[in-house]
Structure 1
Amino acid sequence: MSRLIVVSNRVAPIQEGKPAAGGLAIGVLDALKETGGVWFGWSGEIVGEASAPVIEKRGNVTYATVGLTRRDYDQYYRGFSNATLWPTFHYRNDLSRFDREEYAGYARVNAGLAAKLKALIEPDDIIWVHDYHLLPFAQECRALGIKNPIGFFLHIPFPVPEVMRTVPPHEELIQAMCSYDIVGFQTQADQQSFVDYIERGKFGHATDDGMVQGFGRMLKVGAYPIGIYPDAIAKAAEQFSNRKPVKSLRDALRGRKLIMSVDRLDYSKGLAERFQAFERLLLNAPGWHGRVSLVQIAPPTRSDVQTYQRIRQNLEGEAGRINGRFAQLDWTPIQYLNRKYDRNLLMALFRLSQVGYVTPLRDGMNLVAKEYVASQDPADPGALVLSQFAGAADQLPGALIVNPFDLSQMSEALERALSMPLAERQARHADMMAPLRENNLSVWRDSFLSDLRSVATAASMTQKTVKQVAEAKPEARSEVKPDAKSGAKPRPAKVSG
């Protein structure tokens, strides 16, 4: 079987004996261990000058990492990736900015990474590229003569054409994405937004079989919703339920109900709106005073970016204001924790709670929602309040779906979740666990890679046919007869990729 080359902005740190933290890391490592291959990307380090990749091999997996110079980090990562693409793709054009030098740095780093990867590639490898930092990566590979099949998966939302066009080099970026053989999205809505851009801009068209002809190339476009391993999460949640932090929180609650939220500290997560909806619950239903607590865990992210510093200050202010308004001597309504916890411990905290509160303003999938469901005790599960703008809403039919811009609706959903009878909670939980098992992380990974390997097989067959024709004897080629209707010589069928 051909090797798999995974390319992502960050390569997950190698920690012997410890599980990878996120869904991407878990799925990628599983795939690499099965077939052998390379995980290539940024090491997370800022270096004085660019250098060759650092190679480290563990079993049949090779980790190839590079550092970024301060200039590259500022322009490619902090700049165009996270100050332009991230807010725009999350429909926050008001927070997006564009700088030509940052865009030039984004293109330069993608070209440099492609050049460094080229030396590591073998002819039969297939390449799987991840996320918005690397939209033009395949185009740079093609410019270097790399002909291997290359697939791309976008983990965040893809905006509708009107929003995408607010990014000044939007056409260049979409044309670059068409250099991939497969482009995958979290949801069908994201897939449709990409197709709409191609068709409405008259850059190509889609066919009924999921193929798109865009900017003169044929590529497959599809939705591949990322999953989790629900049974493994359920096991971890149960095993960690007796850890000291979980016991401490259980004791501190003293029988109160717990609403649990875990998010990265990011404006796309709707954290301020979440606090305000909880405040509205306390205003409209005073019977819950002293009987429910909200724990919000929000690990810091991109702490060197001013926008994120303001988010942290705003949330600390909101939590303090609400607590000052409602707190009692023996009750603090909101516990806001701006720190990181072990993933298995978080699963146990989910299991302890009666309500999962996941209300992003926009999210590609949101695995926290899926993890919350998987963590529950089937005999006495909690209820999930989930934003309609999270990709997970399409796959979790038992959740209470809300509009995160409607504080009253969120407040009412919280009260309903807190009061939900056991039988209804059990039924809703069962309705959500079935699709989680059916569409787990392996299904996401295997379905995408199966399609990518199909491209590789088709490309190999095409190259073999071309080679056979080229090596055929002149007299054999002269025997090819013209088509009876057109008079033209028949050509090999065009194969996508």
Structure 2
Amino acid sequence: MSQQSHRLLMVSNRLPVVVSCVEGRWDISAGSGGLVTALSPVMKQNDGLWIGWPGCGEEAPLNELLSRFRAEEGYRLHPVPLTEEEVERYYWGFSNETLWPLFHDLLGNCNFSLENWQTYRQVNERFARTIAEVCKAGDLLWVHDYQLTLVGAYLRKHGVRQALGYFHHIPFPSLDLFRRLPWNLELIRGLMEYDLLGFQTLRDRRNFIRCAHSLLPDTEVIRRHRHHTTLRHGQRKVRVGHFPISIDFDEFNDAAASKEVDEAAWFLHENIEGRQLLLGVDRLDYTKGIPERLLAFERALAKYPDLMRKISLVQVVVPSRTMVPDYRDLKGQIDQLVGRINAQYSEHGWIPVHYVYRSLDRVQLLAHYRAAEIALVTPLCDGMNLVAKEYCASSVHNNGVLILSEFAGAADTMGENALLVNPYDIEGTADAIRQAFTMPQHERKRRMSVLRADIRRNDVHRWVRRFIETLQRSR
């Protein structure tokens, strides 16, 4: 990205760092996510400042650690301190027990707590107050995700008139679903205080516009473009666009082609010789559709006996929120399904499901992507799902098949060359597994080469440029 004349202020729930203490020695390191990787050069070029919760308590020597980070990474971090109770109510409570399930169309998992909502408002106001203290005229402010929907409204109350952008990384619900939120009016009004609202898909953009138009009588559409719609809200104009997030294609492609990953991928397949590997990689979460995926694999084995001994599912589940009852129950359900399938179908020398309950290091993750002939990316609902793109970028020989949920945001751009499934349709997903297994090599290569070319062209760096350029034009 070229040098810009504006300073960029990035705001997210967490700072892009890991603060740790080993044997009494404190350390700080940059986060490893694709968003951090893509934004770091932009932050350096624009004298950037990243604002967020540091993820640690008062015992950490934070000023010293943040000074070290600036010297090493070339941009500054500004912390927003939170108490344990605030983290519990604002983050684990309202953000992840109310907004997360509601926005993923899982109303039955919602907890509508007034106390959590009040803490969410208080924390959003503290973020805004912190931003107002450090921002300058001409700054561009980019706020990220559902934990901070109200920051824009509080910034306006603090007199901030700089360009405000907001990107929503998860799905945005339909009007009927959004109205279930007892505080829907305050939340939608808060979002309308931004100058630019970014969503993952056209569907999310349309859902938001319908909610705003229906719930706020003084809101009307005044202009439509391919990638954004301009709304008038009172005396203000708000751009609402869709900006599908992506990954750093070159980083995944180059690392997957390395000798270290190649050897690790060979070792994985050598241990399961003569079979095609199906791969699922998911955080433990009820939105990811892991039980439905296991049921579909079980059905495929029952319906298509020719798959026996010729296919194995490697399901990686990264532990998450293991003390929360819903997540413990989900873990138990997955354990039970894996045990049942392996008990019923295992034969000497063949286990149908290889279940890995832990996170994988970078080399092992890429090796699993390289080794798998088929990826099962079948969430019940997802804003985008970058695993689908990571798998394709790592398929350096163009020999993989992507089975993708139609309810993942990635389906909008990848659906034509993936095998789209409804994850609730166990029979249909089982048929897709058989179709992928029997797909001719020339068709695999054709589909995967198109998928990889599109990810290479529309990578995360282009996503960052598009959003910032649109934000600059919005004011």
The one-letter amino acid of 1:7's match is V
Matched residue count: 454
Q: Could you tell me which of 300, 304, 309 is aligned with 1:285?
A: 304
Counterpart for residue 7 of structure 2: 3
Counterpart for residue 95 of structure 1: 109
Q: Could you tell me which of 184, 199, 212 is aligned with 1:170?
A: 184
How many Å separate the matches in 2 of 1:381 and 1:19? 33
Return the offset for 1:127.
Answer: 0.7
Q: Could you tell me which of 154, 158, 167 is aligned with 1:140?
A: 154
Counterpart for residue 221 of structure 2: 206
Return the offset for 1:208.
Answer: 2.4
Determine whether 1:128 maps to 2:142. Answer: yes
Query: CA offsets, 1:141-162, max 9 Å, x none?
Result: 1111222211000000000010
SS of 2:166 mapped into structure 1: strand
Counterpart for residue 468 of structure 1: none
Contact residue 221 and residue 232 of structure 2 kept, 8 A: yes
Counterpart for residue 44 of structure 2: 33
Query: CA offsets, 1:320-360, max 9 Å, x none?
Result: 11111111231111112121112343122111111011000
Counterpart for residue 268 of structure 1: 287
Q: Could you tell me which of 227, 238, 253 is aligned with 1:234?
A: 253
How many Å separate the matches in 1 of 2:44 and 2:181? 38
Return the offset for 1:246.
Answer: 3.4
Aligned pairs (5 A) from 1:287-366: 287-366=306-385
Counterpart for residue 43 of structure 1: 54
Structure 1 residues 454 and 198: CA distance shift in structure 2, 3 A = same
Return the offset for 1:60.
Answer: 3.0
Contact residue 261 and residue 364 of structure 2 kept, 8 A: no
The one-letter amino acid of 1:173's match is L
How many Å separate the matches in 2 of 1:296 and 1:109? 37
Identity of aligned residues (%): 35
Return the offset for 1:258.
Answer: 0.3
Return the offset for 1:20.
Answer: 4.3
Counterpart for residue 68 of structure 1: 82
How many Å separate the matches in 1 of 2:136 and 2:300? 59
Contact residue 53 and residue 66 of structure 1 kept, 8 A: no
How many Å separate the matches in 1 of 2:269 and 2:6? 50
SS of 2:55 mapped into structure 1: strand
Q: Could you tell me which of 141, 166, 169 is aligned with 1:155?
A: 169
Counterpart for residue 392 of structure 2: 373
The one-letter amino acid of 2:184's match is H
How many Å separate the matches in 2 of 1:187 and 1:53? 41
Q: Please, what is the CA RMSD of the aligned residues?
A: 2.2
Query: CA offsets, 1:446-474, max 9 Å, x none?
Result: 0100011123xx4xxxxxxxxxxxxxxxx
The one-letter amino acid of 2:445's match is Q
How many Å separate the matches in 2 of 1:244 and 1:339? 21
Structure 1: any 5+ residue segments left out of the alignment? 459-497
Once superposed, which parts of structure 1, at least 4 consecutive aligned residues long, lie more than 6 Å away? 15-19, 51-54
Contact residue 183 and residue 220 of structure 1 kept, 8 A: yes
Question: Which has the larger displacement, 292-301 or 205-214?
Answer: 205-214
Counterpart for residue 22 of structure 1: 33
Counterpart for residue 395 of structure 1: 413
Counterpart for residue 461 of structure 1: none
Query: CA offsets, 1:383-435, max 9 Å, x none?
Result: 10000011111111210011111011111111111111111011111221232
Larger Rg belongs to: 1
SS of 1:337 mapped into structure 2: strand
SS of 2:105 mapped into structure 1: coil
The one-letter amino acid of 1:308's match is Y
Determine whether 1:12 maps to 2:16. Answer: yes
SS of 2:223 mapped into structure 1: coil
Q: Could you tell me which of 96, 100, 120 is aligned with 1:106?
A: 120
The two structures have a TM-score, normalised by structure 1, of 0.87
SS of 1:268 mapped into structure 2: coil
Contact residue 128 and residue 151 of structure 1 kept, 8 A: yes
Query: CA offsets, 1:153-194, max 9 Å, x none?
Result: 000000001001111000110000011110000001000000
